């Protein structure tokens, strides 16, 4: 997994909301269609800056996201940003994420299946004891 982080400085710090809105409407669909797309984040990082974070399966996708972003910003926001962005990119070496959405639902379902299997295991144990001559406790106490 590779990440590209691009930091833009607005010409007018008061125009950051407009810049963010235009970028959200224009860049997000482009990033989502790029090969190897994993995630895209657009942040108001304060002080008249906007930062985007693109996550891709491989280095080629991350590099392509930089090209796509540069093309789009050059065509649509050049008058709103001070020159090219500061870019930081690299391979992800550690990653953690909280489960959400469908993953959480699957985990909950698996828990239910585990409970059912546990009940079935108890039944198998009682039957196995009877087959091995142990019988159940009531029969052993009658003897």
What band does 103 get if pLDDT is binned at 50, 70 and 90? low
* Same-domain status, 67 and 19: yes
For the chain, what is the domain count? Answer: 2
133 has a pLDDT exceeding 90: no
* Same-domain status, 51 and 77: yes
Question: What would the 3-class secondary structure string for the chain be?
Answer: CEEEEEEEEECCHHHHHHHHHHHHHHHHHHHHHCCCEEEEEEEEEECCEEEEEEEECCHHHHHHHHHHHHHHHHHHCCCCECCCCEEEEEECCCCCCCCCCHHHHHHHHHHHHHHHHHHHHHHHHHHHHHHCCCCCHHHHHHC
Q: Which domain holds residue 29?
A: 2-91
- Residue 125 falls within a domain, yes or no? yes
Give the other-Cβ count within 10 Å of 66's Cβ.
18
36 has a pLDDT exceeding 90: yes
- Residue 22 falls within a domain, yes or no? yes
* Same-domain status, 81 and 124: no
pLDDT of residue 58: 95
* Same-domain status, 117 and 76: no
* Same-domain status, 8 and 48: yes
What whole-number percentage of the chain has pLDDT above 70? 70
Q: Which residues are paired to 89 by β-bridges?
A: 4
pLDDT of residue 132: 44
**Model's pTM, two decimal places?**
0.66
* Same-domain status, 66 and 109: no
pLDDT of residue 109: 47
- Residue 96 falls within a domain, yes or no? no
Q: Which residues are paired to 120 by β-bridges?
A: none
Give the other-Cβ count within 10 Å of 81's Cβ.
20
Between 105 and 29, the more confident residue is: 29
What whole-number percentage of the chain has pLDDT above 90? 64
Span 78-92, pLDDT tens digits: 999 999 999 999 999
* Same-domain status, 11 and 72: yes
What band does 66 get if pLDDT is binned at 50, 70 and 90? very high
- Residue 129 falls within a domain, yes or no? yes
* Same-domain status, 111 and 64: no
Provide the Cα torsion 120, 121, 127, 132; round to 10°.
160
Question: Residue 57 is part of a domain; what is its CATH number?
Answer: 3.30.70.100
């Amino acid at each position: 997994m590779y990440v590209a982080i691009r930091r833009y400085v607005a010409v007018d710090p008061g125009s950051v909301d407009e810049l963010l809105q235009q970028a959200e409407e224009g860049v997000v669909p482009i990033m989502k269609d790029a090969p190897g797309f994993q995630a895209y984040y657009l942040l108001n990082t304060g002080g008249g800056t906007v930062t985007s974070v693109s996550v891709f399966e491989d280095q080629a996708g991350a590099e392509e996201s930089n090209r796509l972003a540069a093309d789009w910003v050059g065509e649509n926001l050049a008058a709103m940003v001070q020159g090219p962005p500061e870019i930081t990119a690299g391979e992800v070496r550690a990653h953690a994420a909280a489960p959400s959405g469908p993953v959480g639902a699957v985990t909950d379902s698996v828990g239910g299946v585990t409970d059912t299997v546990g009940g079935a295991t108890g039944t198998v144990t009682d039957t196995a004891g009877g087959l091995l001559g142990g019988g159940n406790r009531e029969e052993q106490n009658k003897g």
